[in-house]
Structure 1
C-alpha cells in the first residue's frame, strides 16, 4: 500500500478551498481546536434546537476532522485531507435516541445540505431498507443538483450483511475500508455496490470529549470521510467538472489491491482511493461524459422503486502524513491516523 503523501503530492495542488462538505451525522463540535473556523451553521433534525454545531456523541466531529481538520500550533492535532474545505454539519438522530426514527430522516438532511451549498455530502450512517422512497428521492435530488454523495458500506462484513443504504442507492459512492497493509478490513461490508475503499483502521481523529479531545478507532465511516475529502479536493482544483466527472476521476485512478483480483469487484470496488492521482491531469475524464456513472448501478437488494426523475424539493425547516499520509495526527511526537465506528439497522440509524 503506497502512502498518499498528502503534504508533498496533494496539498500543493488542492486543499479543498471554497468547497462545502456536509457531514450528516451526530453533529460537529465547532470549537474543537482542530476545527475552529471550519464549521458553518447547519441544521438539526434530531429534535434538539441546535444548528448542528454540537456533538454529544463525537462521531460527526471525528468525521469532520478527517475531512477538514487544520491542526493547531506547530505540527499538532489532526490535519484533514482537505484542510481548507468548510463543514456544513447536519445532526440526525441515532438508534436509542428516538425509536421512531425512520431512514426518511435522511431525506431532510440531504435536501437541506443540497439547498445550502454543499457540493459533497458525507453519510457515515446506514441501514437495510431499500424501499424508503423519501431517502431514495433525496439522493436522486442531490444527483440532479450536481452533488457528490458519499456513504459508508457498513461494518458488518464479518456477518455477510449486504451493503447498507444509503450507500447502496444508485448514484452514491459506496465506500469500504482497508487496513494499513491495503487488504480489506475484516468487518468492511462488501457487495456489488462497493465503489471504492480507503483507510479505515487505527485512524487518529478529533473527538467531542473536549475541545482538545482525540481518539483512535476503526470503521468504514472514516474511509468514507477520505473519499468525501478527495471529492472536495477535486472540486476545488477543477471547479468546472460535474459531480459525475469528479466520481470518474476517483474510480479511474484508484489503485488495484494486491490481493483483490481484477477490479471492479464486490470487495474493493474500483480499488483503493488515490487522492494524488485523482488530482492529476485527466483529459479523458474531463472531456468525457458529465453524467454520474453510478446512477444506473444495479442494486443487489431487489426493489421496485423508480430510479428516474427526482421528486421536487420541499423546503425544510432547519435548526437556527500518518501511515497513509492522508491525515496527520501528532500526539506526543508520534504521527498517527484513526477511524470512527457506527451503522444504522433497519430503519433506525447507527453511526458507522
Structure 2
C-alpha cells in the first residue's frame, strides 16, 4: 500500500523557486556568479565568488535575494548568514559549489579541520533555498581510505568531509533538484526544519546526520562502496532531541548504490548520541534519541536485512564504547519495496495514519 501525501509546496514561502523554469534567464536576479569573458547569462550585478554575492544581500531581508550560479566550479567555503538567500543554478551538474576539507587534514590555521569545520556550505540564517546545482566536498574519501596510512579513524582525524551543514540559525531551508556529494558525513541538517525534493545525496558512513527535522521527498539516496571496511556504511545517524517529535523523514525516495557496494552491506541507520557536560562529568546525553522514518521508499539489495544497527557513545561510567541500540532510538519504516526490502525486525513498522502524521509534522514547520 502506498501512502498518499498532499503536495504542500504551494504554501511554502518562495515556492516559485521550486517550479521548473525558474532558472531561466527571463527570471529576475539580484546577483550572478560570473567570471567572464563575455556577457553574463542574466542581467544582474556580477560577483566572482559566492561569498561576495552573499555579502551584498540585505542583513535582515524579508524577501528572496536571488543569486544566479552560472556554470563553473566555485571553489570556496561559504557561510550563509543572512535570511532569504536563494541560489539558482544554471546547470544542475555544471553549477558546482565546491571545497576540499576533511576532518583529519590540516586547515590553514595549522590545526586539523575536525568534522564540524569541513562543510563547503554553512547555512546559519532562515529561509535559505537552493535549486538546480551541486554542492560538494571535493575530498576523495575512497582514494584516501584505500591508500596505506590513509585516514580511517572515526575521531577528529578521520575522513569526514561535509558538503552542506544546516547550522544554528537555519530554519525553513528548501532544496530542489540539488546534488549533495561527498563520501562520509555528506549532509548535516543539524538545526531547524528543511525540505529536500528530487535531490541526490551520496556517501558511505553516516552520510545524513544531525539533530534537525528534515523531509526528503522523491530523492535519490546513493550509497558508495567502502572496500576497506567490513560493511559499506550507514545512511543516517540522527541525533534528534527527545523534545522533537520527528527527525529525518524519507518519503517516496530511492535508496540506490554505486557499483562495488556489496549486497546487504548498508544499514538504514544508527543512533548518534553526542555528549554533554553534566555536574558529574561529560558523557552521552540521554535527551538525544535519534528519529528517522523511511516511508514508501524503494530499496536496492545493498540494504542490510536487519535494517538498523547500534552505535557507540560515551557512557556515564566513562566507557567510550557504550552501545546505543536502535530499539533505544525512534527508527521506523512503512511500505518498503525493492530488492532490499525486508522485515527489518530492528525498526518499528508504522501504520498508514502514523506515517501520514509524521510527514505532516515536518511540513507544518516549513
In the superposition, the TM-score normalised over structure 2's length comes to 0.31
Structure in which a larger fraction of residues adopt strand: 2
Structure in which a larger fraction of residues adopt helix: 1
In the superposition, the TM-score normalised over structure 1's length comes to 0.31
